[in-house]
Structure formats: C-alpha cells, structure tokens
Amino acid sequence: MERSEGLYIYKLEYLYEDNKIICVPIWFHEGYAIVLSADENGFWTPDGIPIDDFATIGIDSLYKKLCDIGPLPPNDKSSFKCELIQMELDYGQYYNSIYRPLFTNNFRDGLFVPYNESVPSLEFYRDLSITNYQEYSNLLRQLEIVLDDLDAVFKVVAPQKEQGNVYGHAIRNIIILACTEIDSMMHIILERNGVKPSGRYFQMKDYYQLKEALRLDEYELSFYRFPELGSFSPFAEWRGDKIPWYDGYNKIKHNREKEFPCARLDYAINSIMAFAIVLISKYGYRNNLWNEKIGKIVRVNREPHWNLKDFYFKSSENRIQISYPFPLKERLISPEKQLAKEILDLLNNIDGNKGVLLQKVDELKELIEDE
C-alpha cells in the first residue's frame, strides 16, 4: 500500500460459530495499538513506535492475537480476512456541521454483521455530543412547532394517503416554515464549509451538493402514530434543482393566489420529514434531546450505512473542525453572466447617454440570477 499521511486502522473480518464478525482491535502484534498514524517518515503507533513495514504485522500475528485475547475468536484461519484502511480524517477531526458516526470501543470487541455486509450494523452507531446546544435546541423547537401544526391539521383532515392533494392556509404555513428552516440549515452547512453560491444567493442547485455529502436520499422516516401514511424519503427524487414538494414551496411563497393548490398536505408532510432529515444529517439523532422531543413522534426507518473509513475518531483533546471537500468551493461564472460582465465593461467605456442600456443590462443580470 502506498503511504500517505493520516490515520490508519486494521479491519479484521472472520466467522465465529454461525456469525460474521467485523473487528478493529485496539492492540495487535506485541501489544501495540492497531491504530496507526503516518507521515513522511513512516508509520507510527500512538506510543511513537515506528512500523517499518506492514508486512511485519502479519496476518499470522493478528490471527494468533485474536485467538488469545479476542472475546469472539475465529472459527478457523480460512475465514480470516485483514484489511488496512486509511481513515478519511485524522484524530479529533470533524467536518463542520456534517454528521458521521463515532468510532467506539464496540469495534474492538467485534460487531455482528450479515454475511453479505462489510460495514458496521446501525445498532453500534454512536453520535458525537452536541456542542452547539442552543442552535440544536432552537432547531428542535422549530421542528416541534411544525409537527404540532400538522397534528392540528390531522384533527380536521384524516391522515390518509388519499388526502395528499388537500390544500389550505394552515398547510401552506407548514410548508413555508419547514422549507425556510431547510434553506437556512443547508445555507449554513455550505457556508461553514467554505462554499460560495453559484449566483448572488444560494439556490437549490447549490444545495444539491449536499445530497451526496450528507447522503440525504438514503434516509427514510415515518410517523409512529400514523403508519397508514407509509414511509417518506423526500430527497430520493432530487435531481439538480428539482424536488416536487420544494417546487411547491417556491410557488406558494411567490404566488399564493395562482399556485394555492400547491399548498398540499403531502408536500407539507414531505417538507417536515425533509426538515428532520437535514437536522439528523447535521447532528445525528442518538441523543436525549431528540429522544425527548422528536423521537416519540418520528421513526427513522432507514439511514446511511457508513464505511469504517468515514467514521469520526474521537480525540481526548479539542475537536478540530475542517471543511468538507465539496467540488464547488469558489463562485463559478456562467457564460451568460460572463457575457453580461463583458457588456458592462464595454458600456463603462462609452461616452454619452448610456443610462437606459445600463438599466436593461441590470435587469438581464437579475433575470439570469433568478433562473
């Protein structure tokens, strides 16, 4: 394996009785930790012990060590697999406002996984503690408000799939509040990670970068109390800047009288579930605040299965926040905007009456940016 700087772990995979086990032991050959750091000088254990060659930490040593001290020793050596993995981040590093599961001691003892899986089961996931308590609490409160408003609607309109196209003022207010919170969170996540908008303001085409980074389309939620409504995965159909419920939000926000039928009940429900998903993808949901406020109402049916390399590795020192490597870091100028810029530059060098032309160019710029 070609060496690069960073954090490395060994993933051991083997059979124990009738179970498949994934294990990342905290120790290995001669008792040294299996977690390794790398720099230009080589690989090192946390105790500063140099490792000249990974071949010196052979599979025989790992297998013997696991048989000697492992709580779940392998059936036999033929089922034993060993993989060296470079972690995405180093000790104590975390993407700014982006959720990943936390690496814990459960991985040392061995995790049961299905035979066709090679990633940890969701039951072993642990989340980082909430550091920005006030921000998280405020967002939970807003989510509670729209859930209460939806419950009030359900006292008038039966919570059934057949009622999805029912629309009204209270439903419109739910959509607007939920989508406003979604806009705000997505804006903050991109901004905190150094991303600039493609136009004057952040738009849905900018937010689309979050679909892959947060794996939003892999979440599926439902209501405990209303199973007849089924499950919701509001980002599953996200293509570029188009999502049906979000398009409905834009229509009723800008032209209520004409687009009022878009204030639909199914759009309101999807907006609320999308709000919850973005919140989870920012903070996680395995914490007391979520359990006390939202966890009794909303069920998480499906969520991303993260690879070991994606997990956060907690440090005893302070957290180190870094920016996620989004592909779009700088403001991009489209051909249309570039043309408008060139026209402006030319006009600025023309003597005489150019006020009307400048006004028209400004209008053109606004139209382009609002597309």
Residue 134 has pLDDT above 90, yes or no: yes
Residue 297 has pLDDT above 90, yes or no: yes
Q: What is the 3-state secondary structure (H, E, C) of the chain?
A: CCCCCEEEEEEEEEEECCEEEEECCCECHHHCECCEEEECCEEECCCCCEECCHHHCCHHHHHHHHHHHCCCCCCCHHHCEEEEEECCCCCCEEECCCCCCECCCHHHHCEEECCCCCCCCHHHCCCCCCCCHHHHHHHHHHHHHHHHHHHHHHCCCCCCHHHCCCECHHHHHHHHHHHHHHHHHHHHHHHHCCCCCCCCCCCHHHHCHHHHHHCHHHCEEEECCCHHHCCECCCCCCECCECHHHHHHHHHHHCHHHHHHHCEHHHHHHHHHHHHHHHHHHHCCCCHHHHHHCCCCEEEEECCCCCHHHCECCCCCCCEEECCCCCCCCCCCCHHHHHHHHHHHHHCCCCCCCHHHHHHHHHHHHHHHCC
Q: What percent of the chain has pLDDT over 70?
A: 67
List Cβ neighbours of 20 (8 Å cut-off, separation of 6 or more): 13, 14, 112, 113, 114, 115, 117
Most confident of 27-41, 187-201, 342-356: 187-201
Residue corresponding to tokens 């936390």: 102
Which long-range contacts does 51-58 make (Cβ < 8 Å, 24+ apart)?
A: 54/1, 54/84, 56/29, 57/10, 57/28, 57/29, 58/29
What is the biggest distance separating any 2 CA atoms in the chain, rounded to whole angstroms? 90
Tens digit of pLDDT for each residue in 104-129? 766 765 666 665 666 777 877 889 88
Instruction: Output 89 or 32, whichever has higher pLDDT.
Output: 89
Residue corresponding to tokens 């900018």: 206
Q: 16, 109 in Cβ contact below 8 A?
A: no
Residue 76 has pLDDT above 80, yes or no: no
Q: 322, 87 in Cβ contact below 8 A?
A: no
pLDDT of residue 198: 85
Q: 67, 73 in Cβ contact below 8 A?
A: yes
Domain ranges in the chain? 6-124, 133-305, 335-369
Residue 29 has pLDDT above 90, yes or no: no
